[in-house]
Amino acid sequence: MIRNRVFLTVPVSFLLALGLGVIANAQYLISTKAGFVNRVEGEVYILRADGEGDEKGRASLGTQMRAGDRLSVAANGFAETLLNPGSYLRLSENTEVRAVSVDLNSVRFELIKGSVIAEIGQIDKKAPIEILTPQGALTIAKAGLHRIDAKGSATLVSVRQGEIHLGTPSDFAANQSLKIKRGKVVTLTGSTQPGQPGAPGSPGLPGPLDVAKLDKDAVDKFDTWSFDRAQALTQANVKALSRTGVLTAGWYYDPFFRFYTFVPSRSWFWSPYGFGFFNNYRDCYDYTPYYYSGSSYRNQVGTSTGATVSPRVVSGNDRSAVSRATDRRLGDTGFGSRSGGFGNSGASGGGSSSGGGSSSPSTSSPRSSPGNSGAPHAPAGRSSAPMSGPRGRIQ
């Protein structure tokens, strides 16, 4: 039974959600839990583990999943939940997931049916994310972009960026998981057979399995929606900084876009799709948070004019095209960090809970060039000094 009950939280006036580990400080989300619903389109429902039988309620922005809760998306709908800062789990239509653990040190979700896309921007290798499927466990210990489709007797795992491990976090820690690299798709059929560590059929690994080359041009409306969400998030980040000048690291609610966007702890951050996130305006005043392809323009709701956007860009397989289009002075680098690793980069910090609103420019900023001592330049008639922004503290 579905009761038309809306779990709505007003983002700017969160008080307390006892037992959920979520409160809001001004426009900042202070969360110690994964599974916070950041976007819903169409009909999205939540079934509480401690609820009354099969009674479902409508989920919306601000719904916090607890361990055992199930989130389901009806036909023609989509949903996005926050994982650890900079990472998201997106749900397609006719999809249902269960939150096994929402602790940020042991994030674990079960895909019951349907399709999900995991965009992992930041992650601690010692605290990997686990996704259970009907045909076995998957472990994500590195930044990347993955699509997982549960299709009856088989589960398809597409690795578009980064890598994924077949097996549990325990298998991964014991070097008994099987690593699947970028550009591969795996078909899991679910039977488990004895074998040698690191080989198909090893203890804890799903098998038999079929590893094939990924079709990088295959996309559907779920891929398009996920790409649009990734673009809208970076757009919200840049637009917020244009108004505030500097932001504190973590999840920041933008009232114009009506969802939370990511703010990195250091100067800049590159997502698996190739979009940039920043914490101060002087590092992004000339960054274009849109994807262009010739005369094509794509906005956050997925409309475009002119040339067709490449399917490889939409699917996340060609992130270098996004980097070139949004900031032509940036080459293709490892996502998450200009230094090649995942996470944040740059030496300038963002806002803090005390002190002035300005931040020191990074000597390794992508805005820097030889001879300018690393200081970025603002456009004519505009000061490069950041404006004071809202203050908050992310725990």
Pairwise CA distance, residues 283 & 265, whole Å: 13
Pairwise CA distance, residues 307 & 279, whole Å: 32
330 band by pLDDT with thresholds 50, 70 and 90: low
User: Which strand (E) or helix (H) includes residue 228?
Assistant: helix 221-244
Pairwise CA distance, residues 332 & 237, whole Å: 21
**Which has the minimum average pLDDT: 50-54, 216-220, 235-239, 256-260?**
50-54
Q: Work out the burial of residue 48: count CB atoms within 10 Å of its CB; fewer than 13 is exposed, 13-18 middle, 19 or more buried.
A: middle
Around Cβ 97, how many Cβ atoms within 10 Å?
26
Kindly tell me the sign of the dihedral angle through the C-alpha atoms of 73, 79, 82, 87. positive
Percent of the chain with pLDDT over 90: 58
Three-state DSSP state, 323: helix
Pairwise CA distance, residues 346 & 360, whole Å: 10
Percent of the chain with pLDDT over 70: 66
* Sheet (strand 259-263) strand order: 22-25, 28-31, 250-254, 259-263
Q: What's 329's DSSP letter?
A: T
Question: What would the two tokens of residue 301 be?
Answer: 């709701």
Q: Please report how many Cα atoms fall inside a 13 Å half-sphere around the Cα of residue 388, on the Cβ side.
A: 6
Write the pLDDT tens digit of every residue in 42-90.
999 999 999 887 889 999 999 999 999 999 999 999 999 999 999 999 9
Pairwise CA distance, residues 170 & 106, whole Å: 12
**Which has the minimum average pLDDT: 69-73, 115-119, 217-221, 380-384?**
380-384
Three-state DSSP state, 249: coil
Q: Work out the burial of residue 138: count CB atoms within 10 Å of its CB; fewer than 13 is exposed, 13-18 middle, 19 or more buried.
A: buried
* DSSP letter for each residue of 34-57: S-EEEEEES-EEEE-TTSSTT-EE
Residue 149 CA: distances (Å) to CA of 45, 110, 113, 152, 268: 20, 12, 8, 9, 32
Residue 315 has pLDDT above 80, yes or no: yes
Torsion of CA 240, 333, 217, 133, to 10 degrees: -80
Cis peptide before 208 (omega within 30 of 0): yes
92 band by pLDDT with thresholds 50, 70 and 90: very high
Pairwise CA distance, residues 336 & 343, whole Å: 5
**What does pLDDT average to over the chain?**
76
Bridge partners of 103, per DSSP, are 33
Write the pLDDT tens digit of every residue in 120-136.
999 999 999 999 999 99
Pairwise CA distance, residues 302 & 186, whole Å: 29
365 band by pLDDT with thresholds 50, 70 and 90: very low
The domain locations on the chain are 2-213, 221-395
> Which one, of 139, 101, 131, 104, lies nearest residue 115 by Cα?
131
CATH class for domain 2-213? Answer: mainly beta
Residue 9 has pLDDT above 80, yes or no: no
How confident is the model at residue 326, as a pLDDT? 84
How confident is the model at residue 254, as a pLDDT? 93
**Which has the minimum average pLDDT: 100-114, 154-168, 190-204, 282-296?**
190-204
Q: Per this entry, what is the length of the chain?
A: 395
